[in-house]
Chains A and B, each alone.
Chain A
Amino acid sequence: MSFFFEVLIGGLLSGVMYALVAIGFVLIYKASGVFNFAQGAMVFFAALTCVGIMDKFGLSLWLAIPATMVAMIILGLAIERVVLRPLVNQPEIALFMATIGLAFFIEGLAQLLWGSQVHKLDLPIEDVPLQYLLDNFNIIVSQFDVIAAAICGVMVVVLALLFAKTKVGRALRAVADDHQAALAVGIPLQRIWAVLWAVAGLVAMVAGLLWGARNGVQFALTFIALKALPVLILGGFTSVPGAIVGGLIIGASEKLAEVYIGPLVGGGIEGWFPYVLALLFLLVRPEGLFGEKIIRRI
């Protein structure tokens, strides 16, 4: 039984990380209707930039992180300026395809700047089992995973507060509701989008550093976007709580399925199981768990 809980907790903790990537998607989708496929590439770019700065200039982690933050903000502003602004009022599908192109561009740029070898990233958090749980319940849970999940949790709370309490947050929600109306009452749409992409870049950085420390900074980080997609389908594209709950469900069920169903069918089902799960769920609720009800008019 302790093995079951070990798998479950491990799954939930990795689910928090999926949720963090998914929140990056939700932020942008909510306020601009762009389904940002480049989120995975941004995660990769952030992690590689941080490691690259440390390697090339010999800076410590605590200097490299602010430098990476600046880089992510510049990237976010550049994306808004170069890609999104000329595409205003295009159909959503065109914007989506533009972000696929953007993903390729960012991946190429990151490797061109910092090289394509696998890097190690050492965060000052040790990857050891939590002693308390090991002693009392005989469950091995990595301390790293718990702290990473806690950092993600803090991020989520900060973002929720940002949305709920600040002036920018209010503007963001107004833009999300109705672009035209927001413009009409004098909300600077383009500045809001720029803020949003910068914030999404920072979220990508946190995700990139945590995942990069776990699995090494390598090209595989871009596939995190593919992990976050079923989370979004499940949780709804417009809901931050949906992204969190979806992340937890996907994370836990993915690991449980891999451990308990995987051996029966030859293993490696982690790749598609979340998608099938999310798909089955969609057949029941087409707008996701917390998504807004879609009303279509002619």
Chain B
Amino acid sequence: MFYREAGQFKTSYEADGQILPIRQDRIALFVTLAVALLALPLVSSPYMLSAILIPFLIFALAALGLNILTGYAGQLSLGTAAFMAVGAFASYNFVARIPGIPVLLAFVLGGLCAAMVGIAFGLPSLRIRGFYLAASTLATQFFVVWCLTKIPWLTGHSSSGVITAQKMEILGYAFDTPERKYVLVLGVVAFMALLAKNMLRSNVGRSWMAVRDMDVAAEVIGFRLMRTKLLAFAVSSFYCGVAGALYAFAYLGTVEPEAYNLDLSFRILFMIIIGGVGSILGSFLGAAFIVLLPVFLNILAHGLALPTSVASNLELMTFGALIIFFLIVEPHGLARLWQIGKEKLRLWPFPH
């Protein structure tokens, strides 16, 4: 009833091929973006912005990157945090070593560096697949973090290995308050999400899905496996690299290699499992879930006056149990629940 595409006729190929063919979707997207851009910075406290909304957007971008690789191209990766680290440290170095470089350009260059590392560590995927690949992506994780701790040039010869991310400035306009940082992050994430949505319905996205569904068959019908897989690694790492740079510049402020540990990789993997593997919306839902869950559990633990050690262990257990629960009950994640909801809305209030 609320959600009915009946009567929305398309009279041109352009209209038929647009990203959101249903009018309600378009309106909902614009309303969401408008609220996120205009209303949220006004009504949210600085804590809300810098501790929940900014990390949510950054994690959503990283999850999107992993989803491109794992959800769409079918290559399981446990090295997401390593690509984020490359993006962050590369961006730091570009800003530090090239005076006057626009910070957004530094992010893009950082993302490109991450993409190159992604291609290098994606090479084994041509020979090995499945669990062997998942285990070997751990090599990326450990090697990159080790490099960043051991090679002082990369961290600007800082004695502690912890570096302070530079101020973000675009055309003389400083993004230094939580509101401004939030708007910048929102802009980057919204743009890249749109880009991903478009890419995934082009021939590039279709070739990834063909490789995911059965790579031998895809090769037989003429997809070039090497190009497709490496492109997936490159694009995914680019997204993760930009997310890592934002993580350092807009969220943490300071950055050390240890911030990009295996735990972060797992958290991003959980985001796509809970949100929905192979879904852009799912990356956002999963990120929101994983960012909000600890906050919620903290409030709960505080309310029940549990000691912090018990609370942190309960958090671990809740995470673990939720992963298993979602895999058993709804393997397609929160995104699938939303889809079911939409189908129900189409008929509401009639059950059939």
A268-B146, A272-B146 as given contacts; A104 in contact with B317, CB under 8 Å = yes
Candidates B128, B149, B309, B324; contact of A83 at CB < 8 Å: B324
**Does A94 sit at the interface, judged by CB under 8 A?**
yes
**A92 B266 Cβ-Cβ under 8 A:** no
Tell me whether A18 is interfacial, beta carbon within 8 Å: no
Would you call B331 and A90 a contact (CB within 8 A)?
A: yes
Q: Mark B313-343, 1 if CB is under 8 A from A, else 0.
A: 1111111111110011001000000000000
Question: How far apart are the CA atoms of A288 and B328 in the complex, in Å?
Answer: 31
A100/B317 in contact, CB under 8 A: no
In contact, A108 and B327 (Cβ under 8 angstroms) = no
- The minimal Cβ–Cβ distance linking A103 to chain B, given in whole angstroms, is 7
Contact in complex: A90, B146 (CB < 8 Å) = no
Q: Which 7 residue pairs across A and B have the least CB separation, nearest first?
A: A101-B323, A105-B320, A108-B316, A104-B320, A275-B139, A108-B317, A272-B142
Asked if B324 and A101 sit within 8 Å, CB to CB, the answer is yes
Q: How large is the interface on A (under 10, 10 to 19, 20 to 34, 35 or more residues)?
A: 35 or more
**Any B CB within 8 A of the CB of A35:** yes
Verify A275–B143 contact, CB threshold 8 A.
yes
Of A93, A112, A232, A269, which is within 8 A of B313 by CB? A112
Complex interface: stretch among A119-127, A167-175, A279-287: A279-287
In the complex the two chains form, is A101's CB within 8 Å of B130's CB?
Answer: no
What is the CB-to-nearest-CB distance from A291 to chain B, in angstroms, rounded to a whole number? 9
A100 near B313 (CB under 8 angstroms)? no
CB atoms of B316 and A279 under 8 A apart: no
Of all chain B residues, the one with the shortest Cβ separation from A296 is: B216
Give the B-binding residues of A (Cβ under 8 A). 35, 82-83, 86-87, 90, 92-94, 96-98, 100-109, 111-112, 115-116, 226, 229-230, 232-233, 237, 265-269, 271-272, 275-276, 278-279, 282-283, 286, 288, 296-298
Measured between beta carbons, the chain A residues less than 8 angstroms from B128 are 282, 286
User: A109 CA to B320 CA in the complex, in Å?
Assistant: 10
Per-residue CB contact flags for chain B residues 286-318 toward chain A (1 = under 8 Å, else 0) read: 000000000000000000000001100111111
Measured in the bound complex, the distance between the Cα atoms of B63 and A96 in whole Å is 19
Contact with A along B216-234 (1 / 0, CB 8 A): 1100100000000000000
Bound-state CA distance A232–B128 (Å) is 14
Give the CA-CA distance A230 to B317 in the complex, in Å.
27
A229 CB contacts on chain B under 8 angstroms: 135, 138
Asked whether, in the complex, the Cβ of A103 is within 8 Å of the Cβ of B132, the reply is: no
Which one of A97, A230, A283, A297 contacts B323 once the chains associate, using CB atoms below 8 Å? A97
Ordered by A's residue number, 23 sampled pairs between the chains whose C-beta atoms are within 8 Å are: A35-B131, A35-B134, A83-B324, A90-B327, A98-B323, A101-B270, A101-B319, A105-B317, A105-B319, A105-B321, A107-B316, A108-B315, A108-B320, A111-B309, A112-B317, A232-B135, A271-B146, A279-B136, A282-B127, A286-B127, A298-B214, A298-B216, A298-B220
User: What is the CA–CA distance of A268 and B317 in the complex, to the nearest angstrom?
Assistant: 31
The bracket for how many chain B residues form the interface is: 35 or more
Assuming the contacts A92-B131, A282-B128, A298-B216, asked whether A104 and B323 have C-beta atoms less than 8 A apart, the reply is: yes
CB neighbours of A83 from chain B (8 A): 324, 328
State whether A104 touches B216 (Cβ < 8 A). Answer: no
With a 10 A CB-CB cut-off, give which of A87, A226, A279 has the most chain B CB atoms. A279
A72 to B84, CA, bound (A): 38
Given the interface contacts A116-B309, A268-B150, does A106 sit within 8 Å of B135 by beta carbon?
A: no
In the complex the two chains form, what is the Cα distance from A77 to B280 in whole Å? 37
Cα-based distance from A85 to B210 in the complex (angstroms): 30
Residues in B whose Cβ lies below 8 Å from that of A92? 130-131
**Residues from chain B with Cβ under 8 Å of A271 in the complex:** 142, 146
Min distance, Cβ B274 to any Cβ of chain A, angstroms: 10
Q: Determine whether the beta carbon of A101 is less than 8 Å from that of B138.
A: no
- A101/B131 in contact, CB under 8 A: no
Q: How far is the CA of A229 from the CA of B132 in the complex (A)?
A: 9
Residues of B close to A100: CB separation below 8 A: 266, 269-270, 323
B187 within 8 A of A: no
CB of B58 closer than 8 Å to a CB of A: no
- Output the least CB separation between A16 and chain B (Å): 21
Known: A93-B76, A97-B273. A279 touches B124 (CB 8 A): yes
The reply to whether A112 and B310 form a contact with Cβ atoms under 8 Å apart is yes
CA distance A112 to B317 in the complex (A): 9
Q: Which of B142, B150, B309, B323 contacts A266 (CB 8 A)?
A: B150
Q: A230–B319 Cα gap in the complex (Å)?
A: 26
Identity of the chain A residue whose Cβ is nearest the Cβ of B309 in the assembled complex: A116
Q: Which residue of chain A is the closest to B331 with respect to CB atoms?
A: A94
Query: Bound complex: CA of A252 vs CA of B192, how far in Å?
Result: 46
Bound-complex Cα distance A83 to B313 (A)? 20
Contact B328 A97 (CB under 8 A): no
* Inter-chain contacts of B273 with A (CB < 8 A): 97
Whether A275 contacts B131 by the Cβ 8 Å rule is no
Besides A107-B320, A237-B131, 4 new A-B residue pairs in contact (Cβ under 8 A), listed by A number: A97-B323, A278-B135, A282-B127, A283-B124
Chain B contacts of A267 at CB under 8 A? 150
